[in-house]
Amino acid sequence: MLHQQINLYKNMTTIKTKKVLVAIFAALCLSSCNNDRDTTVQYQFTTNVDISEVANSVKVIKGLNGPLVNIMSSEDAQLYMRINYLVYDKGGSLIHKDKKDSRSSADKVTFSAMLDEDDYTVVVWAETRRDMDEVVLWNAINMNSLQTLKLETSMAPVGDFGIMGVSKNRVTLNKPLNTDMKLRKTGAYYLLYFHSNSEMEAYLYIRGYMGNIAYIVDKEETDVLTYDTNLGPLWKDIYEFTSPQDVSENMLLGLPCFLFPSKMEAYKIEWASLDKNFDILNAKTITIDNVEADRNVLVDINVKTGESKFIPMTQ
């Protein structure tokens, strides 16, 4: 009888042990399956950005020679590029950002990141900046969503250190990916070059009725603000002429502008030359239309005669 009870106890213990082992094995399997589901596959994503279009405009400014060198001093010409890199998921939410500065003549800048397997939209935007200024002309507004992202400026006109380029690209990341993007200029660089061989002009009064406001990235559209001449100018300023020693002309003034192509009316700029008593000597209106991105133009303005010439600027 005692032997039978001992054997029965052994059998029950063996059954319980098997049940415990089965339960542990099942728990391990379940845990393993859950871990498999929770593990996210990531891949290396590399973007090589061709910045040559915007960089060429920087080279144009730095390469100005002759009398224009007196307008753009060596300090003014210390331009460099800041390249901003933004990655959005398929819902349009920002999941990665980076930035780099480029001061060399290299035409490419590379960004890398480890990202989950998914669909993405990559936005790269760049602006020219200048060492002597701490002012940032272009700001990314509502950056956390691709649908609301705008590159906005509050300054008009945007000067030589406000040249901007933007590109957008959609990619599917399901393996390590190395992709190329070309940065496209959103506008053109115009240099308004006022000059005279007369010594009567002392000041120049300038006012503009059109200016840049924002670039809407997702729609790839520009938002340009116009002002009716009856309501007053969008921007205005008064400048003093300079008298360089090494040129035949006595009076020089250079006003750099970065302009968006506009489907609306032309950019209008009014100017008036003034003598030392602020009496008007001459006054004209400059009309700038058919602005093309990456078509840089020198606007040669003879203040004495009022004549203007539009001359394409090349490297």
Q: The dihedral of CA 192, 197, 203, 207: what is its sign?
A: negative
Which position has the token pair 């400014």?
61
Tell me the CA distances in angstroms from 42 to 2, 114, 141, one per residue in order.
64, 6, 29
Q: Which domain holds residue 197?
A: 188-312
How far apart CA 65 and CA 63 sit, in angstroms, is 6
How far apart CA 176 and CA 44 sit, in angstroms, is 5
Would you say residue 278 lies in a domain? yes
| Contact status, residue 189 vs residue 256, Cβ threshold 8 Å | yes
Would you say residue 224 lies in a domain? yes
Residues 207 and 135 in one domain: no
Q: CA-based angle 62:65:69, to the nearest 5?
A: 80
Residues 294 and 217 in one domain: yes
Residues 175 and 203 in one domain: no
Which residues lie closer than 8 Å to 2 by C-beta, 6 or more apart? none
Residues 74 and 114 in one domain: yes
Residues 266 and 203 in one domain: yes
The per-residue pLDDT string of the chain (315 residues; one tens digit each, 9 = 90 and over) reads 545 554 544 555 554 555 544 454 555 555 555 554 456 789 999 999 998 888 777 666 666 655 554 444 444 456 788 899 999 999 999 999 999 988 776 778 999 999 999 999 999 998 887 766 666 778 888 999 999 999 887 666 666 567 788 999 999 999 999 999 998 888 888 888 888 877 777 888 888 776 657 888 888 887 765 555 555 666 778 877 665 544 445 556 777 788 888 766 678 888 998 888 989 999 999 988 888 887 888 899 998 899 999 988 865
Residue 70: the pLDDT is: 45
Tally helices (H) and strands (E) across the chain: 2, 20
Which is nearest to 109 in space by CA: 92, 97, 126? Answer: 126
Burial class (CB in 10 A: 0-12, 13-18, 19+), 288: buried
| Contact status, residue 63 vs residue 315, Cβ threshold 8 Å | yes
Query: Can you read off the two tokens belonging to residue 201?
Result: 């002009």
The whole-model pTM stands at 0.74
Residues 262 and 242 in one domain: yes
CATH code for the domain of 86? 2.60.40
Task: Give the total number of structural domains in the chain.
Answer: 2
Of 185, 214, 242, which one is at a domain's C-terminal end? 185
Residue 165: the pLDDT is: 87
